[in-house]
């Protein structure tokens, strides 16, 4: 292949976005999730926090991963037990997951210790639906779900609806390499690669859930987790620092 063609292909996969204005938020978190106008996170001690009037308020309980979205507030603890926040208390949900996502249309989803993928159909009791395939991280939005596997390959599941949380059951591989990916409540897709670089998927829409390409978000420090909601991009640095970024 001609060198110019190779360069064009690489640029077509990874382009650079406009710069963001970021502010350091007091506190320390290892994971954060924003959705439905709420922000939750957990720190290195598995303590849970939510943002209230610009201040972090500790929520009783212990979780290693938390998620907030149309499905409510969900989390998993160090034993991979699943919990849902109900009227201020954590209610145990049957099953085991290492990562859970509440961003779907009322249907939580996630992956277990063996990278098996599951979603919980809305209004159909407590029986999880197993989705064929293997992923280490899975996140859903209003019309599609995205995931990455142990090799950092990226996949999208289309056809996800409020009555069909498993979608089309046909995985489509997406170009690029990411260690984690998050879909926002409005469908935007952000991810972080193994080098700590942040990317956003361009031109994602209901008519084109896959979008057109990846755009690298300019940010000097290395990141391990990302979440987006209502114009705010939340970044967790490798040192557990918290940044709130806007365009």
Edge-to-edge strands, sheet with 116-119: 99-101, 109-111, 116-119, 129-134
Biggest CA-to-CA distance, the chain = 61
Asked if residues 163 and 107 have their Cβ atoms less than 8 Å apart, the reply is: no
Domain tally for the chain? 1
CATH code of 158's domain: 2.130.10.30
Structure-token pair, residue 82: 């699943």
Q: Kindly report the number of other CB atoms within 10 A of residue 210's CB atom.
A: 17
pLDDT in tens for each of the 247 residues of the chain?
454 443 333 344 456 686 789 999 999 999 999 999 999 999 999 999 999 988 999 999 999 999 999 999 999 999 999 999 999 999 999 999 999 999 888 899 999 999 999 999 986 567 899 999 999 999 999 989 999 999 999 999 999 988 899 999 999 999 999 999 999 999 999 999 999 999 999 999 999 999 999 999 999 999 999 999 999 999 999 999 999 999 7
Asked if residues 49 and 59 have their Cβ atoms less than 8 Å apart, the reply is: yes
The domain of 161 spans 3-246
């Amino acid at each position: 292949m001609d060198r110019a063609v190779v360069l064009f292909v690489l640029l077509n996969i990874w382009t650079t976005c406009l710069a963001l204005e970021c502010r350091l938020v007091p506190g320390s978190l290892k994971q954060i999730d924003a959705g439905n106008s709420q922000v939750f996170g957990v720190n290195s001690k598995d303590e849970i926090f939510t943002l209230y009037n610009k201040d972090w308020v500790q929520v009783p309980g212990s979780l290693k991963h938390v998620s907030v979205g149309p499905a409510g507030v969900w989390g998993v603890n160090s034993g991979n037990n699943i919990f849902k926040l109900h009227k201020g208390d954590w209610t145990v949900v049957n099953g085991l997951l290492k990562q859970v996502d509440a961003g779907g249309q009322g249907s939580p989803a996630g992956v277990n210790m063996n990278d098996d993928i599951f979603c919980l159909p809305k209004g159909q009791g407590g029986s999880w639906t197993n989705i064929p395939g293997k992923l280490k991280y899975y996140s859903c939005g209003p019309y599609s779900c995205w995931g990455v596997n142990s090799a950092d390959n990226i996949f999208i599941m289309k056809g996800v609806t409020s009555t069909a949380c498993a979608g089309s059951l046909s995985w489509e591989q997406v170009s690029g390499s990411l260690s984690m990916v998050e879909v926002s409540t409005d469908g935007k897709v952000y991810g972080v690669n193994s080098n700590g670089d942040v990317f956003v998927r361009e031109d994602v829409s209901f008519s084109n859930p896959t979008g057109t390409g990846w755009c690298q978000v300019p940010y000097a420090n290395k990141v391990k987790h990302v979440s987006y909601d209502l114009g705010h991009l939340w970044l967790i640095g490798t040192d557990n620092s918290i940044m709130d970024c806007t365009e």
